[in-house]
Amino acid sequence: MKKIVKIAVIAVVVILAIALIAPAALRGKIADIVKREANAMLAARLDFEKLDISLLRHFPNASVELKGLTLVGAEEPFVGDTIVSARRISVVVNLLSLFGDGGYEVTRVILADPALHAHKMADGAVNWDVMKPSEEEPAAEEKTSEEEGGSSFRLSVRDFRISGAVIRYEDDSTRMSFSTDPLSLRLRGDMSAERTQLDLRLKTERTNFVSGGIPLLSNAEAELVADIDADLKNMHFTFSKNTFRLNAIQIGLDGWVEMKDDLLSMDLKAGCDGVQFKDVLSLIPAFYTREFKNLTAGGELDLSLWARGEMRGSQLPAFELKTSVRNGSFQYASLPKAVTDINLEARIANPGGVMDRTEIDLSKFGLQMAGNSLAATFYATNLASDPTFRATADGKIDLGAVKEVYPLEKGVELQGVITADVQLSGRMSDIEKNRYESLGAKGTFVLEQLGL
C-alpha cells in the first residue's frame, strides 16, 4: 500500500512539474511563430507584449492569454494607425485537442478593454482591408480541408465576454461617424450544438452617431437583453422576451431571422407605447445639454416597427415604421415661455423589393411656440431614382421668440419673421435641372427682416 501511495505521489509531482515547466518552455517559441505567421498574411503589423500558456488555471482545460495586443496599419494611407488593440485576450481550450489532429476546441473567450477603429476615406480606401492577396488560388477540383475532414477549428463557446470595449467608425465619404464606449457583452450558449439557447446581455454607456455631419445621438446609453432560441444547424434564430433600451426608452423585440448563404429571411416586430416625451428629447443632441436637467416636458410617444420577407443585395423585405407624438410640450426653467401642442404622425414603409418603393409620410406635424404656430406635412417616394415629393406648411414663426423657449449659445441672436401658407410638389430632378415650371406650387412664403 505504501508503494502505491508513493508511486501516486511521484506521478502527481511529475504531472505538476510538466504542467508548470512545459508552458514556460514553449511560450517564447509559440509567440514567435504566431507573430511571424500572422505578419506574413497581413498588410498590417501584429504585435503583443506577452503570451501566456497555462495547463493549471482552468484544468482540465488549457488557457492561452495574449496581453497588449495591437494591430497597426503598415501601408499608406493608414501607416501608424491602430486598427485593433486589447489589454488582454484569454482563450480556454480543450487540453486534449491541443495534441490531436482534429483542431482546437474553444470553450471560453474573454476580451478585456478591446478597441476597434474602422475608417473609410473619401476615396473609398478602408483601414480594415489588411489581408495580403493570396498568391495561389486552389484548383477548382481540389477539395478544401473542410470538405476532406471537417474544419480544423471547433467552436464550443459557452461563455464569451467583452468588457470595456471602445468601438469607432468613421466614413469620410458620407460624413458619418459612430462611436460607443465602454461596451460590455456577455454571450452564453453551446455553439457546438445543433440547437441551443443563447443568453445575450449587451450594454454601453455612451453611444454617439453623426450622419451627414449632423449629430443624431449624443452620449446615449444603450442596453440589449435577449434570450434567443438558436437553431445553429439551419441558422434560424427565434427572439422572445427581448428588450432594447436607449436611455429611458425601452423597445420590445419579437420574431425570427434565418440566414442562408447571402439570403436573410425575417419576420420581426418591435415597438413601445406611452414613452414620456422628455425621454424622447434626451436622444436629441440639441436638447441633451447641460440645461436638460432643468427641462420639464409633457406628452407621450408611441412607436411600432415590423419587417417581413427576404433581404439579399439590394432587395429589401417589406417593412413599416410608425410613430406618433401626442400633446407634447417642453419648457426650460430658465426661460419664460414653452413650446406646446406638439403633435406628430409619421410613417416609413416599403411593400418589399427595392429602396425606390419606400414611402416617407409625415401626415401631421404641429406646434405652438410663444404665440407662434406651425403646421406641416411631407410625403416622398422613389427615393433612390428620382425622389418625388409633396409638402405643405402653414403658420407664422417669429425667430426672435426662439430665445424665449430655447437656450441659444452665447452671442447668437435670431431675428426675422417667416410666414407660410404654401403647397409644393414635384421631383428632385426638376429642381436639379432648374425646371421650376414643372413644380406644383401655390400659396405664399414670406421672409421679413431675416438676420443673425
Pick the more confident residue, 425 or 57. Answer: 425
Please indicate, yes or no, whether the overall pTM of this predicted structure exceeds 0.75: no
> How much is the mean pLDDT over the chain?
83
- Quick one: cell of 325? 407624438
pLDDT interval class at 3 (50, 70, 90): very low
Asked whether 235 and 261 are in contact (CB, 8 A), the reply is no
pLDDT, residue 15, reads 40
Judged against a pLDDT cut of 50, whether residue 151 lies above it is answered with no
- Mean of the pLDDT values across residues 80-93? 88
Tell me the HSE value of 119 on the side-chain side, using a 13 A CA sphere: 13
Cβ partners under 8 Å of residue 431, min gap 6: 439
**Please, what sign has the CA dihedral across residues 301, 267, 161, 206?**
negative
- Mean of the pLDDT values across residues 109-122? 92
Q: What is the pLDDT of residues 326-376, one digit of tens each?
A: 999 999 998 999 999 999 999 999 999 888 999 999 999 999 998 899 999
**Greatest CA separation found in the chain?**
108
pLDDT, residue 57, reads 62
pLDDT interval class at 377 (50, 70, 90): very high
pLDDT interval class at 17 (50, 70, 90): very low
Judged against a pLDDT cut of 90, whether residue 319 lies above it is answered with yes
240 - beta bridge partners? 227
* Of the candidates 157, 181, 179, the residue with the CA atom closest to the CA atom of residue 170: 179
pLDDT, residue 9, reads 41
Q: What is the pLDDT of residues 388-419, one digit of tens each?
A: 999 999 999 988 889 999 988 888 888 889 99
Q: pLDDT > 70: what percent of the chain?
A: 83
Cβ partners under 8 Å of residue 408, min gap 6: 402, 414
pLDDT, residue 18, reads 42
Pick the more confident residue, 152 or 322. Answer: 322
Q: What is the pLDDT of residues 197-211, one digit of tens each?
A: 889 999 999 999 988
pLDDT, residue 13, reads 40
Q: What is the pLDDT of residues 216-271, one digit of tens each?
A: 888 889 999 999 999 988 999 998 778 998 888 889 989 999 999 889 999 999 99
